[in-house]
């Protein structure tokens, strides 16, 4: 129906004779003849007008007259000594098909062609892939490289110079060492080797060494640059497959002495792009074509190899107007904010001098917030060792220039595609970062002319840093990526994603207003490009600054405008060397694409490694590459989560630092530490050793005792702080098997034991178990709450039984010779005491404790063992010499030195008492109370809310302890076996003890005071 739209054009027609059990005589024999179809060239000249056929042929190699099954006898062909091609026939058309894993051809011209201004040499190859690579080896890709060369003779290959095209990689391997710069490329080669079997287009170092040559002069193939200074490489939208024939055309054009190598590809016919070369090294004379078939493949064939000498009058090699190099229609969301650097750049350390970059940081925060709102997770590249890099101070980690030393890291490749030198300003090199689901290649091109302490590649915070070049922006980090463009040529940095991404953002630093301009060039997934000259903002001379630069694609479903490559290209227009702008990037963010293959991981977190007591609320993290995944342990301490399948996993666990540090930590733990330190009694297990090192300095010493006592006395809320001064977690988690570690190896192994690592696995991971240690709880008497609440609300282990031999109580208040009030605290025990601990509360408006002293506790000091607050105090003492103190009932343990602030009464409550002997706690000790009247007399009080009961004639007088702001109900019952509580009186709480008067009949009842919610009426 349509001669323009070929949708309904006929590809195949079949006359099919059906069969339904008929006899042989029913078969119908038929025939056809005189078949007519419209004429059309099998492969018209690629992207050229019809009169391009008039351009004279230099050479034309087809195989129609050759014998099938033999080598071609075409006079223009030169074969290697290894038989690696044979003529085949398919549907009446003859092809030349490769028969070895590495095959080469040479086509010689009858005479040398020298291009005059405006003339072109047009080289065209018609080819077809027959299968993907079947013999992975040196280069596991299907590809075709061909080009025009000036061959000086078979005896001297050192002078062979040519331009070639790389087309149609069939990518089956993403290993960084095999990754090419682009799917299409235009390159130049100075051929070096005279071994034709090696192949003139191979960039190997030698016959047996497959790595690239050390320098360009020994045969490396160098990627050219386009007119804008960008590398002449372009992504291929799709693999070609094996079902159809294709064509590639390389046009070499003399444009006023500059050689332009223009690449076309079909079908459909497309202009790909061009590389340019000018100057003394331009080659304009050619006498041969070299062609290399796909390596590691025996399924490749060519139908025709031809070359035309195109005169000035024909525009056969002019690109059409609809090309991938046209400006893209993609509209990105651009994130941008900057902070100028400090005066003079802030050397030697801008951040250390107090400079900051809040504007750039806020824009990064917005970028991350928007990614999260779109449901995108992300990866972060920081150039730090923990991020899979191998940085070293100095230039030992450079990855650009011939022989660049960067050896690779956990997630990064070694330097590759290295050439040139820093001193010449043409250093080039790449390194690949292998993330959990994408590979990112960083390529420096034309870097160098270095001076001073510049470190192109991975830069260091070495005390010579300033903001007119760049610094590390990773919290706690020390490294960044520095770019040192050539002083007399275009240079910069290319960042390419193996899989296009919908967003990318990073800090860009060091750009100054009086230096050479830096343009951002973005290559999109559809092959289109944008040159964004205004995206980079500048700072003052010698100050530079930090800019956050971020891009977000308009559509997360359609990946047409996803970013394939981003280049920071510093342009050059004859400026002096001092105009060169050194810049840097750090903290690059890009979304992690969805990974379909996942595995389940599970385990349990238990206390002290005994595998019984669960720890709920623990955060378990698994690190996969630069991405992390988290979950929380449940009430049984168990967890399960689904994570991407990967080559390696690193697990860790933690509990938030807001868990109270003094839970389960008391003087009995300190006594165990002292016994251990004095070699009286070593701690019994690996887990108790870890608990006894709350300061995390891999040593059990007095410093741990000091920090534990501070926590017990509520002077601090943590045992240690991190590098930013924030409290560290009071739990430490190690892999469950660590509990069996020998004592003398504990601190050598504990840091590694905090992580559990696995190599890649094909199935689920189970039994990834952690043991948690509550730091400071050396005797492990802390246990989680039995309720469904989280571990943060856990309580110390209950279950001690009262022991009559241990008692704390108040003595009689008295005045000393200076008229000060003294309230003694007495203790009684059948055992020598090694430690004592308790809390006190009183009415702060009536009394203040000025001091607490002791004449019988060795080394007792208010500065070390007491913390007096406003209406509260805490005491924690232990015998540093472990000698023990024998108690005397007539001699007070402690004396409280009081001052009266007002004439009212006040109760003193001694709560949470603990006494420790040589074997640990002496058991549960009852709290003690005393009531001090305004007249200076006192009476002992009970524990609990009702402090005392006295009968005065027809009245029962009670002292009750309530809390201000709460309401209470006093209730009575006659029978505790079957109680029926009756309300007697409601009262409002107070900070002071209150006196309540009841009728005498209440003296025969049981009483209780309970809080209520109702308001007093």
DSSP string, 632-680: E--TTSEEEEEEE--SEEEEEEE--TTS-TTTT--HHHHHHHHHHHTTS
Q: What is the pLDDT of residues 555-587, one digit of tens each?
A: 887 888 999 999 999 998 889 988 999 999 999
Q: What is the pLDDT of residues 90-103, one digit of tens each?
A: 888 899 988 876 67
Mean pLDDT to the nearest integer, 639-657: 83
Range 50-310: architecture per CATH: Sandwich (2.60)
Q: Looking at residue 565, what is its pLDDT?
A: 93
Which residues, at least 6 apart from 983, have a Cβ–Cβ distance to it below 8 Å? 969, 970, 971
Mean pLDDT to the nearest integer, 208-223: 51
The Cα 106–Cα 102 span in angstroms is 14
Mean pLDDT to the nearest integer, 393-406: 88
The Cα 201–Cα 224 span in angstroms is 15
Strand partners, 759: 648
Q: Which of 317-326, 761-770, 785-794 has the lowest mean pLDDT?
A: 785-794
Q: Looking at residue 214, what is its pLDDT?
A: 46
The Cα 882–Cα 678 span in angstroms is 9
Query: pLDDT-derived band of residue 4, with 50, 70 and 90 as boundaries?
Result: confident
The secondary structure of residue 594, as a DSSP letter, is P
The closest of 856, 673, 868, 676 to 775, measured between CA atoms, is 673
Which residues, at least 6 apart from 402, have a Cβ–Cβ distance to it below 8 Å? 214, 215, 216, 418, 419, 420, 421, 427
The Cα 868–Cα 343 span in angstroms is 49
Mean pLDDT to the nearest integer, 835-849: 92
Q: Looking at residue 604, what is its pLDDT?
A: 93
Which residues, at least 6 apart from 115, have a Cβ–Cβ distance to it below 8 Å? 121, 252, 253, 254, 284, 285, 286
Specify the CATH number of the domain 807-941: 2.60.40.680
The Cα 416–Cα 444 span in angstroms is 11
The closest of 620, 616, 621 to 634, measured between CA atoms, is 616
Query: pLDDT-derived band of residue 123, with 50, 70 and 90 as boundaries?
Result: very high
Q: Looking at residue 784, what is its pLDDT?
A: 66
Numbered ranges of CATH 2.60.40.680 in the chain: 807-941
Percent of the chain at pLDDT above 70? Answer: 84
Does residue 171 surpass a pLDDT of 50? no
The closest of 655, 664, 912, 922 to 795, measured between CA atoms, is 664
What fold, for 947-1012?
Immunoglobulin-like (2.60.40)
The Cα 848–Cα 329 span in angstroms is 78
Numbered ranges of CATH 2.60.120 in the chain: 50-310
The Cα 57–Cα 945 span in angstroms is 111
The Cα 867–Cα 685 span in angstroms is 32
Does residue 772 surpass a pLDDT of 50? yes
Does residue 451 surpass a pLDDT of 90? no
Which residues, at least 6 apart from 522, have a Cβ–Cβ distance to it below 8 Å? 328, 332, 529, 530, 532, 551, 563, 565, 566, 567
Q: Looking at residue 102, what is its pLDDT?
A: 64
The closest of 197, 121, 214 to 162, measured between CA atoms, is 121
Strand partners, 522: 530, 566
The Cα 586–Cα 548 span in angstroms is 10
The Cα 986–Cα 809 span in angstroms is 31
Q: Which of 664-668, 724-728, 794-798, 909-913 has the lowest mean pLDDT?
A: 794-798
CB contact at 8 A, 125 and 165: no
Q: What is the pLDDT of residues 456-476, one digit of tens each?
A: 889 988 888 889 889 999 998
CB contact at 8 A, 170 and 245: no
Q: Where are the beta strands (DSSP E) in 172-284?
A: 184-190, 221-223, 233-234, 246-255, 258-266, 270-277
Mean pLDDT to the nearest integer, 368-396: 87
Does residue 284 surpass a pLDDT of 90? yes
Query: pLDDT-derived band of residue 528, with 50, 70 and 90 as boundaries?
Result: confident
Q: Dihedrals φ, ψ of 15, to 5°?
A: -105, 105
The Cα 562–Cα 540 span in angstroms is 33
Does residue 609 surpass a pLDDT of 80? no
Query: pLDDT-derived band of residue 734, with 50, 70 and 90 as boundaries?
Result: very high
Token duo for residue 650: 């690193």
Q: Looking at residue 203, what is its pLDDT?
A: 45
Q: Which of 38-42, 315-319, 516-520, 906-910 has the lowest mean pLDDT?
A: 38-42
| Per-position b or e across 760-789, b if 16+ CB within 10 A of its CB | eeeeebeebbbbbbbbbbbbbbbbbeeeee
The Cα 393–Cα 446 span in angstroms is 23
Q: Dihedrals φ, ψ of 705, to 5°?
A: -65, -45
The Cα 90–Cα 83 span in angstroms is 21
Q: What angle do CA 498, 501, 505 make, to 5 degrees?
A: 110
> What integer best gives the mean pLDDT of the chain?
82
The closest of 513, 504, 505, 447 to 473, measured between CA atoms, is 505
Helix H, strand E, coil C: the string for 772-813 is EEECCCCCCCEECCCCCCCHHHCEECCCCCCCCCCEEEECCC
Does residue 385 surpass a pLDDT of 70? yes
Token duo for residue 696: 């995390």
- Pairing of the two strands 821-828 and 894-900: antiparallel
Q: Dihedrals φ, ψ of 217, to 5°?
A: -65, -15
CB contact at 8 A, 201 and 143: no
Which residues, at least 6 apart from 440, have a Cβ–Cβ distance to it below 8 Å? 381, 432, 433, 495, 496, 497, 498, 588, 590
Query: pLDDT-derived band of residue 238, with 50, 70 and 90 as boundaries?
Result: low
């Amino acid at each position: 129906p349509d001669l323009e739209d070929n949708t309904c054009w006929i590809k195949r027609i079949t006359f099919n004779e059906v069969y339904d059990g008929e006899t042989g005589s029913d078969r119908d024999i038929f025939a056809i003849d005189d078949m007519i179809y419209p004429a059309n060239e099998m492969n018209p000249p690629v992207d050229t007008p019809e009169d391009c056929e008039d351009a004279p042929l230099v050479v034309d190699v087809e195989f129609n007259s050759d014998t099938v099954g033999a080598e071609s006898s075409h006079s223009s062909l030169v074969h290697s000594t290894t038989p690696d091609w044979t003529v085949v026939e398919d549907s009446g058309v003859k092809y030349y098909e490769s028969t070895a894993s590495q095959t080469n051809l040479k086509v010689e011209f009858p005479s040398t062609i020298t291009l005059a201004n405006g003339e072109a040499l047009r080289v065209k190859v018609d080819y077809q892939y027959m299968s993907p690579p079947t013999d992975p080896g040196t280069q596991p890709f299907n590809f075709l490289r061909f080009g025009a060369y000036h061959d000086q003779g078979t005896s001297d290959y050192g002078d062979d110079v040519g331009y070639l095209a790389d087309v149609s990689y069939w990518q089956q391997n993403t290993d960084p060492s095999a990754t090419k710069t682009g799917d299409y490329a235009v390159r130049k080669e100075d051929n070096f080797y005279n071994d034709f079997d090696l192949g003139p287009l191979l960039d190997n170092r030698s016959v047996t060494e497959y790595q690239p040559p050390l320098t360009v002069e020994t045969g490396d193939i160098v990627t050219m640059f386009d007119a804008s200074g960008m590398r002449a490489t372009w992504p291929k939208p799709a693999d070609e497959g094996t079902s159809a024939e294709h064509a590639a055309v390389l046009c070499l054009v003399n444009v006023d002495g500059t050689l332009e190598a223009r690449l076309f590809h079909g079908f459909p016919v497309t202009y790909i792009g061009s590389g340019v070369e000018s100057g003394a090294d331009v080659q304009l004379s050619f006498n041969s074509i070299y062609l290399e078939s796909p390596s590691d493949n025996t399924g490749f064939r060519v139908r025709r190899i031809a070359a035309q000498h195109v005169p000035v009058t024909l525009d056969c090699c002019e690109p059409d107007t609809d090309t991938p190099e046209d400006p893209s229609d993609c509209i990105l969301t651009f994130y941008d904010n900057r902070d100028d650097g400090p005066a003079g750049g802030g050397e030697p350390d801008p951040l250390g001098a107090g400079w900051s970059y809040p504007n750039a940081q806020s824009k990064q925060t917005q970028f991350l917030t928007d990614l999260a709102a779109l449901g995108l997770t992300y990866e972060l590249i920081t150039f730090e060792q923990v991020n899979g890099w191998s940085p070293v101070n100095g230039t030992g980690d450079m990855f650009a220039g011939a022989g660049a030393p960067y050896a690779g890291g956990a997630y990064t490749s070694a330097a590759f595609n290295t050439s040139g030198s820093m001193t010449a300003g043409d250093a080039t090199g790449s390194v690949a970062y292998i993330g959990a689901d994408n590979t990112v290649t960083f390529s420096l091109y034309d870097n160098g002319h270095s001076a001073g302490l510049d470190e192109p590649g991975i830069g260091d915070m070495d005390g010579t840093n300033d903001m007119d070049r760049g610094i590390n922006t990773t919290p706690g980090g020390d490294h960044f990526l520095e770019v040192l463009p050539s002083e007399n040529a275009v240079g910069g940095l290319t960042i390419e994603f193996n899989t296009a991404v919908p967003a990318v953002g990073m800090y860009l630093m060091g750009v100054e207003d009086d230096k050479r301009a830096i343009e951002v060039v973005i290559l999109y997934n559809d092959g289109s490009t944008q040159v964004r000259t205004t995206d980079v903002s500048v700072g003052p001379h010698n100050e530079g600054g930090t800019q956050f630069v971020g891009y977000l694609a308009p559509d997360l479903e359609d990946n047409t405008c996803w970013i394939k490559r981003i280049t920071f290209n510093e342009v050059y227009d004859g400026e002096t060397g001092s105009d060169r702008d050194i810049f840097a990037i750090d903290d690059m963010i890009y979304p992690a694409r969805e990974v379909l293959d996942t595995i389940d991981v599970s385990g349990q977190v238990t206390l002290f490694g005994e595998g019984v007591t669960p720890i709920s609320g623990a955060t378990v993290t698994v690190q996969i590459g630069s991405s992390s995944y988290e979950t929380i342990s449940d009430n049984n301490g168990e967890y399960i989560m689904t994570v991407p399948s990967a080559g390696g996993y690193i697990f860790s666990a933690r509990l938030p630092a807001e868990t109270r540090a003094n839970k389960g930590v008391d003087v009995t733990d300190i006594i165990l530490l002292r016994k251990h330190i004095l070699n009286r009694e070593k701690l019994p297990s690996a887990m108790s050793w870890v608990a006894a090192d709350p300061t995390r300095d891999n040593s059990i010493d007095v410093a741990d005792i000091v920090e534990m006592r501070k926590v017990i006395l509520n002077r601090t809320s943590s045992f240690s702080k991190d590098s930013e001064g924030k409290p560290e977690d009071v739990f430490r988690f190690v892999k469950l098997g660590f509990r069996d570690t020998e004592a003398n190896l504990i601190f050598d192994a504990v840091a590694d034991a905090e992580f559990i690592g696995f190599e890649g696995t094909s199935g689920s991971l189970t039994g990834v178990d952690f043991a948690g240690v509550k730091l400071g709880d050396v005797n492990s008497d802390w246990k989680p709450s039995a309720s469904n609440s989280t571990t943060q609300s856990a309580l110390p282990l209950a279950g001690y039984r009262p022991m009559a031999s241990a008692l704390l109580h108040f003595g009689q208040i008295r005045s000393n010779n200076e008229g000060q009030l003294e309230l003694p605290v007495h203790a009684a025990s059948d055992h020598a005491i090694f430690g004592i601990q308790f809390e006190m509360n009183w009415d702060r408006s009536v009394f203040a404790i000025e001091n607490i002293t002791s004449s019988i506790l060795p080394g007792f000091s208010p500065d070390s063992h007491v913390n007096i607050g406003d209406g509260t105090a805490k005491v924690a003492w232990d015998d540093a010499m472990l000698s023990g103190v024998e108690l005397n009932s007539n001699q007070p343990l402690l004396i409280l030195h009081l001052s009266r602030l007002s004439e009212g009464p006040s109760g003193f409550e001694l709560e949470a008492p603990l006494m420790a002997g040589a074997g640990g706690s002496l058991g549960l000790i009852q709290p003690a109370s005393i009531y001090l009247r305004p007249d200076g007399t006192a009476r002992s009080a009970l524990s609990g809310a009702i402090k005392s009961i006295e009968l005065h004639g027809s009245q029962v007088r009670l002292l009750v302890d309530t809390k201000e702001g709460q309401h209470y109900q006093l209730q009575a019952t006659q029978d505790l076996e079957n109680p029926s509580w009756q309300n007697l009186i409601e009262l409002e709480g107070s900070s002071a003890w209150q006196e309540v008067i009841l009728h005498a009949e209440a003296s025969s009842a049981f009483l209780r005071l309970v809080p209520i919610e109702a308001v007093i009426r």
